[in-house]
Chain A
Amino acid sequence: MRRPAARDRAQRARRLTALLLALAPLALGACANIKPWERDVLAREEMAFDPDPLEAARRNHVYFSKEASLPGGSAGGGGCGCN
């Protein structure tokens, strides 16, 4: 007869396995191999991470000036007095 702690561990392992199996299709989906001639949608301007670089720069600067966090996503830019 298994001790309760061992039973808990086995139960946790089963749950983790079930979770990984449930997430596996997502991982497979992430390995999608889209050919160059299938990328017409991905190439559209509205699919860019920053469709308007000027707006992204201004927005990051304003939030950076009024909040304590860094924008992230790239190497940091220049400093400022930022009152």
Chain B
Amino acid sequence: MKNREREKRARRRRARRAAAAGAGGARTLQALATSALALPGVASNAAAEGTERYVADYTYSFYSEDDIDSSKVSPGSETSRYEIHNHQFRVAAPIAARFDLGLDVAYETMSGATPWYIIPDVDGDPVQVMTGATIEEARTDASLNGTYHLETGRATGAMGISVENDYLAFNGSVSGERYFNEKNTTLNGGGGFSIDKIEPVDADTDPFRPSKENKQSFSLFSGVSQVLGRSSVINSTLNYQFSNGFLSDPYKRVLVEGAPIGDSRPDTRHQITWLTRLRQHADFMNGAFHADYRFYIDTWQINSHTIDVAWYQNLPWGLRLIPSLRYYTQSAAKFYAPWFEVAPSSGHASSDYRLSPFGALAYRVRAESNFPIRETNWKIHAGYERYTSSADLAIMKVALENPGLVSYNLFSVGVTAQF
């Protein structure tokens, strides 16, 4: 018995030495490889893409907003809303021993009517005026990212472009991670920018619509991840963003002193997001619990809370089922109102539902199947999301609900190959 204990201890010592030297038996190497993927932050990408393998990924999704209730629109207004067909592609490859390259491309087509401005009905209740014509547009988004892996961390650089017929955005970012405490602790941080150009359509026929505008955003983030135990890890990240330029919506109007005029917002905005994520595995259930909490605050006096929880249930035959639930609540921007009886002294006014006080509830379910064919690991998945938003779901009391608040269904299917 004692001999067996001694042998076990010696084996552990040998494994530790081998790990420290970066060489050892197959089991140790495997443990080291998987442990690198387990690192907080690294896990977010590497576990999904596998640093040693090529990855090709495609997802199609269909987003469909509910028709707006006829009692909430002005007489004669359009009631059908937005639909989006979205295609996402992703390829990632280890092009050198320590260097990975990834390319993401998204293409989406959008059509439908959107909220324009709000008027009071005969009872003084807010009703939505929708855009008259159905909007048809497309967006292409592409980004290229490269990651260099070191023994003590990794560095990532990314650049991207988003193109619409009336909108062009260039963006870039650099970020890094540094491992400490035998890779039980990871500090991460970085920064990014986006330079956007806006050229609204029909600017010559709409006196409130500018013909050409631009805006810039700069962001910084810093976070820490900590392994809490053999089956538990947590990450907390603080993000700051500063935007300036044309931050209004050129396609929206707001009723001020009885006349619909152009949406007008401050030309600067400071935003802070604090996101904390916990991952806890339950061995006895063969599943994992995900819990995210996000606090957000900005200089437009909006603050919000988000709780997102998910359960990843592994099933026999490579199947996995993932139900999840998300709750969101936000306060109103300081220059928001359904309409303004008197012109605000700041000169800023908006009746955009996205700046209104509301709460939202979303439930999602996703099913996955993983199976190998020769040297390739395949995954197919399908998902559904139901999202509803209303003033009743907000944690604060809301006097007048914005009639443009959105509810939608989202269906998605996808396939991933690792080879």
Contacts and interface: CB of A to CB of B under 8 A. Distances in A.
Nearest to B24: A37
B210 interface: no
A73 B169 CA distance: 21
A79 B162 contact: yes
Contacts of A57: 88, 104, 106
Contacts of B162: 78-80
B325 interface: no
Interface stretch (B2-10, B147-155, B226-234, B254-262): B226-234
B47 A78 contact: no
Given A75-B221, A77-B192, A41 B296 contact: no
Interface string B158-192: 10111010110111011100000111100000111
B61 A58 contact: yes
A77 B48 contact: no
Interface residues of B, number: 113
Interface in B249-288: 251, 271, 273-275, 277, 279, 281, 283, 287-288
B192 A75 contact: yes
Interface residues of A, number: 48
B143 A77 contact: yes
Given A38-B230, A43-B47, A78 B288 contact: no
Contacts of B223: 73
Chain A interface, >50% SS class:
loop
B343 interface: no
Interface stretch (B38-46, B69-77, B93-101, B120-128): B38-46
Contacts of A38: 230
Contacts of B54: none
B328 interface: yes
A51 B230 contact: no
Interface string A64-83: 00111111111111111101
A30 B135 CA distance: 52
Contacts of B275: 71-73
A55 B312 CA distance: 15
Given A69-B273, A77-B171, A46 B320 contact: yes
Given A39-B34, A69-B294, 4 more contacts: A36-B31, A36-B182, A72-B239, A81-B137
